[in-house]
Amino acid sequence: MSTNALDRHVALIGFMGAGKSTVGVEVARRLGRPFYDIDREIEDTHGSIWDVFAERGETAFREIEARFIEDVCSRREPAVVAVGGGAVETRRLLEDVHAFVVHLDIDVETAWERVRDSGRPLAQDEAEFRRRYELRQPLYEEAADAVARSGDEVVLAAAGIHVALGALELLGVLVPGGGPAALVTDPHVGGIHGAAAQLALGDRLTSTHQVPAGEAAKTAGVVERLWRELRLDRTGTLVALGGGCVTDVAGFAAASYARGIPWVAVPTTLVGQVDAAIGGKTAIDLPEGKNLVGAFHWPARTVIDPALLETLPERERREGLAEAVKTGLLAGEPLWELPNEKLVRRSAAFKAAVCLRDPHDHGERHILNLGHTFAHALEAAASYQGVTHGTAVSLGLLAALRLSGRPTDVVEEVLSPKPVRVDRERAWRALQRDKKRGVVLLGDDGPTWDVRLPDDDVRRALDELIAD
């Protein structure tokens, strides 16, 4: 079974009326991929599906359908493909194609209401319709890598992200494969959620490792210690339980240990659930700058349990809210106003789509750095102590919006950032190193990235974030 749709087609399967064509168009747009509707492809070549059924029979139709599926899924460019509802009934078509298969689920009552008057060949008799539904449900379950009911859920599944209340309790099932697992966490998170994670992993858990809390975890010394402590082979999986710093350092350790082993991110903070644990960027810091050493190593799965946010102090929630405001500004939606579960789901889906469009940060993914060029400079100037990531991002968003000529009301009202005391020259040196690609600005038509601005304008914007 595939764990994500990175460099793979997304094949949507499901019963009649599930909305594969409608959702498929939406998902293809969000992932920046072409969309193919197998039924439409067949109709363009062979005429109406009703006529094919009437003249040649269902068996002949399934053979035609199989050839179209194989042809579309053999193309190199990853696409989104809506597969006919009955494709799984007569042939196991999807086992040999390079596709991540998502079952777009629907209950039989809703399906019948949607298609009863559609004229579809297999929707003429309600009893037969219901019989087919019962026949196909286990076949969909067998063929699918994931189950979804909406465009957001398809995007999340395609990125290997599982969002659900109580997901931590199912960690043993959600960690892919059947090999051993090593758990990495920090003392604070381990004291709150470590026992539940260990219990969920059960017999698969072979070792538990602690890293320091916060940015102190993201050092070469901590990574070396993890390398030396780990006893996993290539069949093992490293499970990172904690905030963004834990997932950053553990993900980098997994990327480099034994030339790369699978890892699973289990973010426990709002900043981790909406941002840091998504998209496969892993890194550690150097004194010269934040995240200067790292690797792209997409998690085998990201397990997000919004219920874990209930244990967060308000100050920690506000840390993550800065990233949620950033995401909302990019998406053009007030995501920060949503309750936790919806906020996490919508923010994670937005970032997942961006990262799937640009998994190795060659272009559009740069938009996710909105405000971060300034934020990283402030953090580096403070030696990663005394200026939290959330505070730095809040201030960075102010600078980015000011340079964009946009109002800053949302940032000021929701996040209320205040200038911080750091060394101005050190911050400027760190910013110059980080801004080699330019900065991200927000215009009327959305974000633009790699924008080159005069040094004087950038320096002025930075200085406004630093207290005298």
State the DSSP code for 234: T
The share of the chain scoring above pLDDT 70, in percent, equals: 96
- The better pLDDT of the pair 454, 45 is held by 454
Residue 289 confidence (pLDDT): 78
The share of the chain scoring above pLDDT 90, in percent, equals: 72
Q: In 290-324, which positions are buried (b, 16+ CB within 10 angstroms) versus exposed (e)? A: bbebbeebbbbbbbbbbebbeebeeebbbbbbbbb
Going by pLDDT thresholds of 50, 70 and 90, the confidence category of residue 88 is: confident
CATH class of residue range 162-320+330-347? alpha beta
- Range of weakest confidence among 26-30, 92-96, 244-248: 92-96
Q: Rounded to whole angstroms, how far apart are CA atoms 241 and 330?
A: 28
Going from the C-alpha of 10 to that of each of 23, 31, 145, the distances in angstroms are: 12, 10, 10
Using the predicted structure, report yes or no on whether residue 90 has a pLDDT greater than 60. Answer: no
Residue 16 confidence (pLDDT): 86
Indicate whether this model's pTM tops 0.85.
yes
- The better pLDDT of the pair 100, 65 is held by 100
Strand ranges for 134-245 from DSSP E: 146-148, 161-163, 181-185, 205-210, 237-242
Cβ atoms of residues 181 and 156 within 8 Å? no
Q: Name the CATH code of domain 9-150 (choices 1.10.3720.10, 3.40.50.300, 2.60.40.420, 3.40.50.720).
A: 3.40.50.300
CA atoms within 13 A on the CB side of 452: 2
Q: What is the mean pLDDT of residues 203-230?
A: 96
Residue 43 confidence (pLDDT): 75
Residue 435 confidence (pLDDT): 61
Contacts of 6 (CB under 8 A, 6+ apart): 159, 160, 298, 356, 359
Using the predicted structure, report yes or no on whether residue 89 has a pLDDT greater than 80. Answer: no
- The better pLDDT of the pair 435, 458 is held by 458
Q: What is the mean pLDDT of residues 424-434?
A: 89
Residue 28: count of CB within 10 angstroms of its CB: 20
Q: What is the mean pLDDT of residues 293-305?
A: 97
CA angle 223, 226, 229 (to 5 degrees): 155
Using the predicted structure, report yes or no on whether residue 78 has a pLDDT greater than 90. Answer: yes
Residue 92 confidence (pLDDT): 61
- Range of weakest confidence among 73-87, 145-159, 240-254, 274-288: 73-87
Going by pLDDT thresholds of 50, 70 and 90, the confidence category of residue 73 is: confident
Residue 391 confidence (pLDDT): 95
Cβ atoms of residues 235 and 275 within 8 Å? no
Residue 242 confidence (pLDDT): 97
Q: In 379-390, which positions are buried (b, 16+ CB within 10 angstroms) versus exposed (e)? A: bbbbebeebbbb
Please report which residue ranges of 289-388 form alpha helices under DSSP H. Answer: 314-331, 340-357, 372-381
- The better pLDDT of the pair 445, 435 is held by 445
> Which own/partner contact pairs does 53-60 have at CB distance under 8 Å and 24+ positions apart?
53/121, 54/121, 58/86, 58/121, 59/90
Q: What is the mean pLDDT of residues 219-246?
A: 96
Using the predicted structure, report yes or no on whether residue 94 has a pLDDT greater than 70. Answer: no
Query: What is the phi/psi pair of residue 104, to 5°?
Result: -85, 100
Q: Rounded to whole angstroms, how far apart are CA atoms 137 and 16?
A: 12
Domain ranges of the chain: 9-150, 162-320+330-347, 364-463
Q: How many residues does the chain have?
A: 468
Task: Provide the CATH number for the domain formed by 364-463 in this structure.
Answer: 1.20.1090.10
Q: Rounded to whole angstroms, how far apart are CA atoms 182 and 163?
A: 22
Going by pLDDT thresholds of 50, 70 and 90, the confidence category of residue 70 is: confident
Going by pLDDT thresholds of 50, 70 and 90, the confidence category of residue 263 is: very high
Task: Please identify which residue in the block is written with the tokens 């199912």.
Answer: 170
Using the predicted structure, report yes or no on whether residue 183 has a pLDDT greater than 70. Answer: yes
Going by pLDDT thresholds of 50, 70 and 90, the confidence category of residue 270 is: very high
Cβ atoms of residues 218 and 376 within 8 Å? no
Residue 95 confidence (pLDDT): 67
Residue 99 confidence (pLDDT): 87
Nearest to 368 by CA among 321, 330, 412: 330
Tell me whether domains 9-150 and 364-463 share a fold. Answer: no
Q: Rounded to whole angstroms, how far apart are CA atoms 32 and 118?
A: 30
Cβ atoms of residues 274 and 344 within 8 Å? yes
- Range of weakest confidence among 19-33, 77-91, 241-255, 267-281: 77-91
Residue 275 confidence (pLDDT): 94
Using the predicted structure, report yes or no on whether residue 281 has a pLDDT greater than 60. Answer: yes
Task: Please identify which residue in the block is written with the tokens 């690797």.
Answer: 295
Going by pLDDT thresholds of 50, 70 and 90, the confidence category of residue 436 is: low
Residue 59 confidence (pLDDT): 75
Q: Rounded to whole angstroms, how far apart are CA atoms 368 and 323?
A: 9
**Average pLDDT of the chain?**
91
- The better pLDDT of the pair 11, 124 is held by 11
Task: Please identify which residue in the block is written with the tokens 């000021």.
Answer: 412
Residue 263: count of CB within 10 angstroms of its CB: 30
